[in-house]
Amino acid sequence: MNKLVKYLIGIVATLVTLYIAWYFSSIVIYIIISAVIALMGKPLMNAILKLKIKEHKVPRSLAASITLISFLGVFAALFFIIAPLLGTFFVKITTLDVAEIGVKISEPFENINQSITKIFPSIGNDFKIESVIFEEIKSMFTTSSLAAIFASVATLLLNTILGVLVVLFISFFFLKEQNMFDNLVIALFPVKYEENATRALKSVNHLLVRYFIGVSVQIISITTLNTFGLHFIAGLEFSNAIVLAFMTGVLNIIPYIGPWIGAALSILITITTQIPIGGEIGTLVLMMAIVFLTTQTIDNFVFQPFIFSSSVKAHPLEIFIVILIAANLAGVLGMLIAIPTYTVIRVFAKEFFSHFRIVQKLTDKI
């Protein structure tokens, strides 16, 4: 009976904790984001702490500040590089000459149009799929829709600034006192499970550091490959090529659909902002598609197995199933956090539920 009461109390306590976490979900999200930033900044923080200035070590508060400033510098630089291109894109797409663009891309779509008219003769021989596509795109960026977007910018900007300040404040202390987050998590467990929780957090930190470093290497590698491919093969200007390549590299972190979104956006931006009248757009689109397809092939067979399998020590099929489940539960956001979340679950399951055979099987490589 006593055991039953303990189990019931444990279940109730867990449900209450989950409810509180849900009720204060915005604060929990701030804490999680701060913990991730602290985790990603840990290697840089440790490197700074090893430096000595006239035999004096760098103070932890200064090292934490330098780490956060470095992160802000990177994001600010990327914003100021990408923002002008996106601004030009949105301005030009509102004044898009659909007929002109249709003429440019009619050649690569000619066979597709002929096939469609054969299958559906009722639509007429003058049907052009490229015109339909660009009419739909233009309707998405009408003056009224852009006005609605800009009308909400002030609120979005205010919330973003507030969120960034909160995250920076929390991240500073997580970096300065690197055991603070671990202590917060350990405090949620009974004293008798403190050792298990400590081991689990140590393993989680190790695996997630490997994972985030791997993702950073993946983004840099894809950005580099696409930059050289778009510049030397597709013939884009180097400044434009590196911006588009970085965009595809960042979107690539969304499993499976991210690379295709990045490729489609890159081609769309290019044909609406970069190609002069009379440009061989069919050849350009083909060359860009070849570049993206080649990079994606390299990513699938070289980068991803190393990052998703080696870094978190899970089977590729296991990762694939987890991402599918996460996509069904939470869409794109679920896909983004699927692997780190699954890594945490596996590590804690090994520490607390290792007597189950399925847990032993899923965690035997950790």
Residue 152 has what pLDDT? 60
230 C-beta neighbours (distance < 10 Å), count = 28
In the chain, the amino acid numbered 33 is I
Closest of 200, 155, 193 to residue 359, by C-alpha: 200
Farthest CA pair distance, the chain: 84
Burial of 35 (0-12, 13-18, 19+ CB in 10 A): buried
Residue 54 has what pLDDT? 74
**Is residue 131 situated within a structural domain?**
no
**Is residue 180 situated within a structural domain?**
no
Express each pLDDT in 157-193 by its tens digit.
677 778 788 888 888 888 888 777 778 778 777 777 7
**Is residue 306 situated within a structural domain?**
yes
Secondary structure letter of residue 106 according to DSSP: H
| Per-10-residue mean pLDDT, the chain, length 366 | 66 74 76 81 83 80 87 79 65 59 58 67 66 62 56 64 83 82 78 81 80 83 90 83 85 80 83 56 82 88 71 74 79 74 81 74 71
Closest of 187, 185, 222 to residue 203, by C-alpha: 185
Q: Which residue has the tokens 């039953």?
A: 4
**Is residue 15 situated within a structural domain?**
no
**Is residue 211 situated within a structural domain?**
yes
Which residues have CB under 8 Å from 290's CB, separation 6+? 233
Our count of domains for the chain comes to 1
**Is residue 291 situated within a structural domain?**
yes
List, as own/partner pairs, every contact residues 91-98 make where C-beta atoms lie below 8 angstroms and the sequence separation is at least 24, other chains included.
92/272, 92/273, 93/137, 93/138, 93/141, 93/272, 94/138, 94/141, 94/142, 94/143, 94/146, 96/134, 96/137, 96/138, 96/272, 98/131, 98/134, 98/135, 98/138
**Is residue 135 situated within a structural domain?**
no
- pTM for this entry: 0.65
The answer to whether the CB of 263 falls within 8 A of the CB of 248 is yes
Calpha distance 25→356 (Å, rounded): 31
The answer to whether the CB of 350 falls within 8 A of the CB of 334 is no
Burial readout 164-195 (b: 16 or more C-beta within 10 A, e: otherwise): eebbbebbbebbbebeebbeeebeebeeeeee
**Is residue 63 situated within a structural domain?**
no
**Domain residue limits at 299:** 192-366
